Amino acid sequence: MHPGKRSLLFVPLCVAALNSAAAGTCSRPVYLTFDTGHMGIAPLVAEVLKRQDVRVTFFLADERTLDGGSSLDGAQAGWWKARAAEGHAFGSHTRDHLRWLADRPDGRFEMRPDAGAKAGKRLTVDAAAYCTQLAAPAERFKAMTGQTMLPLFRAPGGKTSPKLLAAAASCGWTHVGWSDAGFLGDELPSERFPNDQLLRRALARISAGDILLAHLGIHDRKDPWAPAVLEPLIEGLKARGLCFATLREHPRYGAAAK
């Protein structure tokens, strides 16, 4: 494309984005979401979000942190309370990062927690126990922040079945996945998927309406994705005329939260 033509396209997009922000509207939204992780990068993520004036949706599980604690323990409570005060949105990621493996003929589920006392063990879980897993982060979030979590959840790894979703719906929870283009790749090995590659891919693929997935720290990734990619990604999407909203504003999931 001719440089002059590119600038003529670029400027109106930037102006439109600024006008939308000034008016308090978001006409071409993307929905950035973070699942919990080792929390080592959480303070830096918060700084970027505040500097960029972006609100996101966090999905909470009680996962192992770098300091030997867990992501919902007392040491992290102040961080969550500050994010709640800033207007971010929150959903459940199950207490023990409980992964669905298979449905059982008796109506129960084969599952494996990545956190908690039984981490790494294959468990048999019924619908009531799964509902308890979904509710636990909401209860902890209420205790930490005084706010109520949205009735939204993300199954670890995005792994579900129709029966598991029905079990969650029976106790009031709606599942939220992510868009194909919104898989930001921060959980992939940095040796094979370096940050610059992931940034280029995301900027090329993401479009309005996409739900984006990242984490608050991945133990196995040597070169952390955030905040290195986070801020240029936000800036690049804003430059394309996109804006950021939480799942409270999503046309489907916002309705489920009311």
Structural domain contains residue 11: no
Asked if the model's pLDDT at residue 2 lies above 60, the reply is no
66 lies in some domain: yes
Q: Is residue 104 part of a domain?
A: yes
Q: pLDDT by residue (tens digit) across 83-113?
A: 999 999 999 999 999 999 999 999 999 999 9
Do the strands 98-103 and 109-113 form a parallel or antiparallel pair, or are they unpaired?
A: antiparallel
The predicted structure's pLDDT at residue 26: 86
What confidence score (pLDDT) does residue 256 get?
A: 75
Segment 243-247 shows an average pLDDT of: 98
pLDDT of amino acid 14: 41
Q: Is residue 226 part of a domain?
A: yes
Any idea what the CATH number is for the domain that residue 49 is in? 3.20.20.370
State the residue range of the domain holding 168. Answer: 26-257
Does the pLDDT of residue 140 top 80, yes or no?
Answer: yes
| 20 falls within a domain | no
Q: What is the pLDDT of residue 18?
A: 40
> What is the tally of structural domains in the chain?
1
C-alpha distances in Å from residue 198, one per residue of 44, 100, 129, 223, 226: 19, 27, 37, 12, 11
In a domain, 60, yes or no: yes
Residue 12 lies in a domain: no
Query: Tens digit of pLDDT for each residue in 7-63?
Result: 333 333 343 444 344 335 789 999 999 999 999 999 999 999 999 999 999 999 999
Q: Mind listing the pLDDT tens digit for each residue in 161-202?
A: 999 999 999 999 999 999 999 999 999 999 999 999 999 999
Q: What pLDDT score does 253 carry?
A: 94
> From residue 163, how far is each of 33, 103, 129, 130 by CA, in Å?
25, 7, 14, 12
pLDDT at residue number 24: 57
Strand (E) or helix (H) holding 237: helix 230-239
Strand partners, 103: 109
Say what the pTM is.
Answer: 0.90
Question: Is the pLDDT assigned to residue 255 strictly greater than 50?
Answer: yes
61 inside domain = yes
